[in-house]
Structure 1
Amino acid sequence: MDRPPLGKTRHRPAPTASRHGLLGVRARDFDLDRAPAAPDLAGLVERHWLVRWDLPDGREGSVSLLPHPCVNLFAAGGPVAVAGVGDKVFTYRYSGSGHVFGVKFRPGGFAPFLVGPVARLTGQTRPLAEFWGGADAAGLARDLAAAGPDLGALVAVAEHHLRAHRPAPDPEVERVGRIVRTLLHDRSVLRVDEVAARFGLSPRSLQRLFQRYVGVSPKWILRRYRLHEAAARLATDDGPANWSEVAADLGYFDQSHFIRDFAAAVGMTPAAYADACRRRVQPVSA
């Protein structure tokens, strides 16, 4: 008998990850496509994604990302890997022609597939074989390779294998999702203790819950989503920014805290980043 479906089948949960995160403004030499998860998997999977490129000989491209608080399963033509939450800017370099396909789990969504806290994956990339076994991981890699660079076919393969490894339902995943949606969407939330109180948790209990299910703290997520928004805003602003206004709009008490957080996460000040975006040059490197 099949296990009960994961997530809610009647509708897809609201987003728990922003659609920002790619850094810089350039003429893109790659295509990025996204697809929603099937309803029975949408409680755990935020979306599927596919990056494709076709560059002339001798040319190299790169893309930089300020990571989300999400675990990703991805395949780039070889063994399938699992990437934990990234703790710093990630730059991917590519040449020739190729593609990378990935499954972005919701914050907390990978925890039921994993024995132990998700925090042990933070900042790391590990072979999927460590979690599913060598034969099953190799089978997924083989089926994804056979699907080619077609997003619909890749999604069908990935979801077939996810269902084969369907974990038992875990109500804590849904609770983590509700909390993360609050951090993402509710601009009135400025402090983690406010979130803890809203969901009937002590700050310490909330911290433990997120280390177990997400891999980073609620404070980290709140700050990261605000910085995603800041980077997107700075990339589209035409003139000098009013930093006090930007900081206040993002929920910071003062502009110095905002500038310090942005520089620590992106590797350059907001002013330098905005200037690079206006000049349409790559603002970060690795």
Structure 2
Amino acid sequence: MRQRARADSRGILDPGRLLREVRFHRHLPEESLRPWVEHYWLIDWALTAPFEQRIVPHPAVNVVFLSAGDGPEAGDGPEAGEVAGVGRDLFTITLTGTGRVCGVQFRPGGFHPFWHRSVAELTGRRLPLPAGRLAGPAGRVCAGTDDDRCHALDTLLTGWAPGPDPAADEAVRLAEAIRTDRTVLRVDDFATRHDVPVRRLQRLFTEYVGVGPKWVIRRYRLQEAVEQAAGRPLNWAGLAADLGYSDQAHLVRDFTSVAGVSPAAYARSVH
């Protein structure tokens, strides 16, 4: 049985409804892939009515395989794969009928050893996977049990032969520090804390993460606000101060621009 990955709902708008409508699980990849891959995410659905899900994207590249259709078994439909760069805007998808998704969320900075080019060229884009990188065992990724699907993804990614990349390792480490330390609010302070010149930090993040460090800081802080709003009533002025905003109005503007609704409207909708 695969070990489950982290269970937070960061980036998922109305996570409670998602879990009521579809089967959603995360699993860790095999050990050798974990320096670059955050987790695999698997979704299965059999819906009687269309279901729309909205996501505030992480600063991460995803490789996604979709098998959808009206066949008797989930995963029997035609399968397509794509690479999704860092999304700057709210991502919305509508699911219908039956289907499966098998996704790979890379760590911020972790896709470069597989892509071998600047990840910035993928930012804001979703591209079909090159034919030579598409097929898993027996040509399919979404068929079978969770273990079967994870094994297919392990085989696929190890076949891409990622190599040592010290700069990617550094980018992964720095992005993880931003994600886990809510006191990180300013690029210059973060650069000083990690003894990295600001200009080098900016070049590293653009090349390996696909967006700059300021964007990563703001996105992680906004995802934290979204997650907290789904859990309990909030003191928005206090949260704005905690997340480094000059005032509550600034947080409200950023939240609304990313989530598509105001913080108050979102909190009412999930509660």
TM-score range for the pair, normalised by the shorter chain length: 0.7 to 0.9
Q: 2:267 aligns with which of 269, 274, 285?
A: 274
Structure 1 Cα separation of the partners of residues 132 and 262 of structure 2: 47
Q: 1:233 aligns with which of 228, 235, 260?
A: 228
TM-score by length of 2: 0.87
Question: Would you say the 8 A contact 1:73–1:102 is kept in 2?
Answer: yes
1:43 and 2:35 equivalent? yes
Superposition deviation, residue 33 in structure 1? 0.2
Distance 1:135 1:245, change over 3 A: closer
Superposition deviation, residue 139 in structure 1? 4.7
Identity level (%)? 42
Q: Which residue of 1 aligns with 2:110?
A: 109
Give the gaps of 5 or more residues in structure 1.
Answer: 1-13, 279-286
In structure 1, give the amino acid aligned to 2:158: R
Question: Would you say the 8 A contact 1:80–1:141 is kept in 2?
Answer: no
- 3-state SS of paired residue (1:40): helix
Question: Would you say the 8 A contact 1:101–1:154 is kept in 2?
Answer: yes
Structure 2 Cα separation of the partners of residues 171 and 264 of structure 1: 35
1:20 and 2:10 equivalent? yes
Q: Which residue of 1 aligns with 2:177?
A: 182
Give the gaps of 5 or more residues in structure 2.
Answer: 68-78
Superposition deviation, residue 138 in structure 1? 3.7
In structure 2, give the amino acid aligned to 1:269: S
Question: Would you say the 8 A contact 1:21–1:228 is kept in 2?
Answer: yes
Distance 1:47 1:139, change over 3 A: closer
Structure 2 Cα separation of the partners of residues 110 and 136 of structure 1: 14
Q: Which residue of 2 aligns with 1:96?
A: 97
Structure 2 Cα separation of the partners of residues 180 and 162 of structure 1: 22
The C-alpha deviation readout for 1:197-241, integer Å capped at 9, x for no partner, is: 222222111111011000011111111111111111112224xx4
Higher relative contact order (CA 8 A, sep 6+): 1
Question: Would you say the 8 A contact 2:11–2:56 is kept in 1?
Answer: yes
Superposition deviation, residue 26 in structure 1? 4.9
Distance 1:141 1:210, change over 3 A: farther
Task: Please give the root-mean-square deviation of Cα atoms over the aligned residues, in Å.
Answer: 2.2
Question: Would you say the 8 A contact 2:10–2:223 is kept in 1?
Answer: yes
In structure 1, give the amino acid aligned to 2:57: P
Q: Counterparts in 2 of 1:154-169, with a 5 A limit?
A: 154-169=149-164
Structure 2 Cα separation of the partners of residues 73 and 25 of structure 1: 21
Superposition deviation, residue 260 in structure 1? 1.6
Distance 1:136 1:272, change over 3 A: closer
Q: Which residue of 2 aligns with 1:281?
A: none
Structure 2 Cα separation of the partners of residues 113 and 141 of structure 1: 22
Superposition deviation, residue 121 in structure 1? 0.3
Question: Would you say the 8 A contact 2:59–2:108 is kept in 1?
Answer: yes
Structure 1 Cα separation of the partners of residues 86 and 9 of structure 2: 16
Q: Which residue of 1 aligns with 2:188?
A: 193
1:205 and 2:206 equivalent? no
The C-alpha deviation readout for 1:177-196, integer Å capped at 9, x for no partner, is: 22112111122222111111
Q: Which residue of 2 aligns with 1:32?
A: 24
1:264 and 2:257 equivalent? yes
Structure 2 Cα separation of the partners of residues 103 and 93 of structure 1: 20
Superposition deviation, residue 38 in structure 1? 1.4
In structure 2, give the amino acid aligned to 1:89: L
Distance 1:140 1:203, change over 3 A: farther
Question: Would you say the 8 A contact 2:9–2:227 is kept in 1?
Answer: no
Structure 1 Cα separation of the partners of residues 208 and 222 of structure 2: 22
Superposition deviation, residue 140 in structure 1? 6.0
Q: Which residue of 2 aligns with 1:64?
A: 54
Question: Would you say the 8 A contact 1:79–1:138 is kept in 2?
Answer: no
In structure 2, give the amino acid aligned to 1:110: F
- 3-state SS of paired residue (1:259): helix
User: Which runs of 4 or more aligned residues in structure 1 lie more than 3 Å from their structure 2 counterparts after TM superposition?
Assistant: 138-141
Superposition deviation, residue 18 in structure 1? 6.5
In structure 2, give the amino acid aligned to 1:90: F
